[in-house]
Chains A and B, each alone.
Chain A
């Protein structure tokens, strides 16, 4: 039996990858998953953190179906595969780097799977100092942004029963942007929301999940504040964008409003992509302060 080949798109982002995952799911979910799939990297053009994290989730999703993944055509002319290698994608998913010299670039925090008990330490000791150094600003200026990611890590633990999240970040200095992408392989936001509101579409469920005070109470003490905090900090204060990829929906929260992306395939688990403007981050001094009621 011929091994199925999945050709990765040139435009390597969450939307195009969702179509790949959707095609895979449609082709195999009904009749059983194949023992092996080849992933063809030959057409790969450009990749951003959401694409890396989404692809990582797709590899883990196929692995969960006991499908062996063989990457092929890794020697193309472009830089994207080298970038993935430097982001430690192949080390994580194939057991070894493609090039011995591959190592994280100064503009990135490489793809990493973090157990919950380590995630807050990683934020404090890795992401925060890296970002402060990249942007030449105080760490205090980034505490709100750091806390957004901490809220997402807590959500993964509260809602998915998974101990692991995957994260990757990249600074684009010429665009004045920082991308932080995070994923988990849980049930997905729509599936969780529909345990409480069964009639919502996938996109409606994602929007509902971001409302302050809405919670599925997967943990009794959860008050449904984390995602609203994320959107307030990024889209309303920073002027950035937050995109949610989950099940058959992609929803973008932008300063101008909320946009449901059409033509989505399938997004395993949940991927959340944070795009921050670096020119609107308020510069704060490294000073302690008392709370004034």
Chain B
């Protein structure tokens, strides 16, 4: 049997919200597991309106320790989001990994 949507991460289901570093850590675990598989990864912010820098650092920016920004951009799709969340994710990732470097 094929599990439906294996690379679909519903942030509200996994972390409840996107306010704290601890919630970011939960999403990071899910992201790492999903990225270890093949194919695109969908991060769904349905039901969540804002994301803090603490959440974003611990979820998305942390991925730069093992991956380059261009790989993250190629594989991650962020959907059902808001302008604030999208701006936060984009600005944080581009600031920390903007020149293609991996932070590790």
Q: Kindly specify which of A9-17, A45-53, A220-228 makes contact with the partner chain.
A: A220-228
* A154–B73 alpha-carbon span in the complex (Å): 28
Checking B45, B52, B86, B89 against A147 with a beta-carbon cut-off of 8 angstroms, the contacting residue is B52
Q: Do residues B61 and A223 form an inter-chain contact, with CB atoms below 8 A?
A: yes
* A158–B54 alpha-carbon span in the complex (Å): 10
- Find residues 20-41 in chain B having any chain A CB closer than 8 Å to their own CB: 20-21
Q: Is there a chain A Cβ closer than 8 Å to B8's Cβ? A: no
Q: Do residues B53 and A140 form an inter-chain contact, with CB atoms below 8 A?
A: no
Q: Is there a chain B Cβ closer than 8 Å to A115's Cβ? A: no
* A292–B84 alpha-carbon span in the complex (Å): 13
Q: Is there a chain B Cβ closer than 8 Å to A64's Cβ? A: no
Q: Is there a chain B Cβ closer than 8 Å to A1's Cβ? A: no
* A272–B88 alpha-carbon span in the complex (Å): 22
Q: Is there a chain A Cβ closer than 8 Å to B79's Cβ? A: yes
Q: Do residues B20 and A120 form an inter-chain contact, with CB atoms below 8 A?
A: yes
A288 to chain B: which residues have CB within 8 Å? 45-46, 79-82
Total residues of chain B contacting the partner, CB 8 A: 33
Q: Do residues A150 and B52 form an inter-chain contact, with CB atoms below 8 A?
A: yes
> CB-CB contacts of B39-50 with A at 8 A, as 1s and 0s?
000000110011
From A151, A212, A219, A221, residue with most partner B Cβ within 10 Å: A221
B88 to chain A: which residues have CB within 8 Å? 147, 229
Interface of B: prevailing SS? helix
Q: Do residues A151 and B90 form an inter-chain contact, with CB atoms below 8 A?
A: no
Checking A147, A222, A290 against B78 with a beta-carbon cut-off of 8 angstroms, the contacting residue is A290
* A288–B50 alpha-carbon span in the complex (Å): 12
How near does chain B come to A98, taking the closest CB pair, in angstroms? 36
How near does chain A come to B104, taking the closest CB pair, in angstroms? 15
Q: Do residues B84 and A147 form an inter-chain contact, with CB atoms below 8 A?
A: yes
* A65–B17 alpha-carbon span in the complex (Å): 38
B87 to chain A: which residues have CB within 8 Å? 144
Q: Given contact pairs A144-B83, A293-B90, enumerate 14 new A-B contacts (beta carbons under 8 Å).
A: A143-B85, A147-B52, A147-B84, A150-B19, A150-B52, A154-B20, A154-B52, A288-B82, A289-B86, A290-B78, A290-B79, A290-B81, A291-B85, A291-B86
Which A residues have a C-beta under 8 Å from some C-beta of B?
Answer: 120, 124, 139-140, 143-144, 146-147, 150-151, 154, 158, 212, 219, 221-223, 225-226, 229, 284, 288-293
